[in-house]
Amino acid sequence: MSDSLNHINNTQHSVGDTPSSTGCRRRRIFGASLIVVALAPLVTLLPWGEAGLEYQRQAILGGEIWRLVTCHWTHFSWSHLFWDLFAMAILGLACERRDQKSFWLCLLISILVIPAGLMILMPDLSIYRGLSGLSSALFGLLIVLRLEETFRDPRPARIAPVALFALLFIAKTIYEAASGCAVFAGAEGDTWAPVPLVHLIGAVIGAAIALVRRNRSIRGRTYSFQPCG
């Protein structure tokens, strides 16, 4: 009898010792955002990098379509480059740690949609450079992900910082649209102006991706727990 009980216990342990129950999960590797960041200084150091890779409307219409992608890694000044790298590194790592799939989806869609939006919505804009559109997309993604986390534990101390950063982003966008001056990246002698539309498009893309993936996740959990008759 005792041998039978021992056999049952051993069987239960062997069944229960699965990767999910023991906490063994596939290790994820973070740092893709740092690779994205590292490309920008390399482009800046190339003798032909900025002029050959920036967004130039007429050149794109003439067939140089690679500029629609490469323009994100070009910059007007070292100040512009520094602030873009700073924002991209922080937001990228934060988004990667929370949802790596959403990070990649947000990045890839933003790289393509933002320049396309400029071509359609700002036909008078001849030149554009910078990572700020991608950073804004990651900001929108991160804000919605953080809001989802705070809704699970809706304490004022958790909600207030998220709301504050969202309001600051809106205020920054409005200020730059009204003044034509960058809040962070502008330096004495810089002759370029921010393009708030890029930040708006990016933020909408990031927020939309977070919301869509969240709804799919909710539907998946609902379907997986349907009662069986």
Query: Mind listing the pLDDT tens digit of every residue in the chain (229 residues)?
Result: 444 444 444 444 443 443 444 444 445 656 788 888 999 999 988 888 789 999 999 999 999 999 999 999 999 988 899 999 999 999 999 999 999 999 999 999 999 999 999 999 999 999 999 999 999 999 999 999 998 888 777 787 788 899 999 999 999 999 999 988 888 876 555 668 899 999 999 999 999 999 998 777 655 554 444 444 4
> Is the separation of the CB atoms in 165 and 135 below 8 Å?
no
| Residue at 206 is within a domain | yes
- Count the domains in the chain: 1
**Dihedral angle sign, alpha carbons of residues 76, 79, 80, 81:** positive
- At 56, phi and psi to the nearest 5? -125, 115
pLDDT of residue 72: 96
| Residue at 124 is within a domain | yes
Query: Which pTM value belongs to this model?
Result: 0.79
DSSP alpha helices (H): ranges in the chain? 2-16, 19-22, 32-45, 49-53, 57-61, 67-70, 78-98, 100-121, 132-152, 156-179, 196-224
For 3, residues 6+ apart whose C-beta sits below 8 A from its C-beta are none
* 140 token code pair: 């929108």
| Residue at 21 is within a domain | no
pLDDT of residue 218: 59
Neighbours of 66 (CB within 10 A): 12
| Residue at 97 is within a domain | yes
| Residue at 224 is within a domain | no
Rounded Cα gap, residues 116 and 118, in angstroms: 5
> Is the separation of the CB atoms in 125 and 195 below 8 Å?
yes
pLDDT of residue 26: 47
Q: Residue 165's domain spans which residues?
A: 31-219
pLDDT of residue 34: 87
Rounded Cα gap, residues 122 and 114, in angstroms: 11
Q: Tell me, what CATH number does 81's domain have?
A: 1.20.1540.10
Rounded Cα gap, residues 39 and 36, in angstroms: 6
**Distance from the first to the final alpha carbon of the chain:** 37
pLDDT of residue 23: 42
pLDDT of residue 225: 45
Rounded Cα gap, residues 138 and 206, in angstroms: 6
pLDDT of residue 28: 60
| Residue at 225 is within a domain | no
| Residue at 159 is within a domain | yes
* 96 token code pair: 């990667």
pLDDT of residue 220: 54
pLDDT of residue 197: 96
| Residue at 13 is within a domain | no
* 227 token code pair: 């009662």
Give me the residues paired with residue 56 across strands: 127
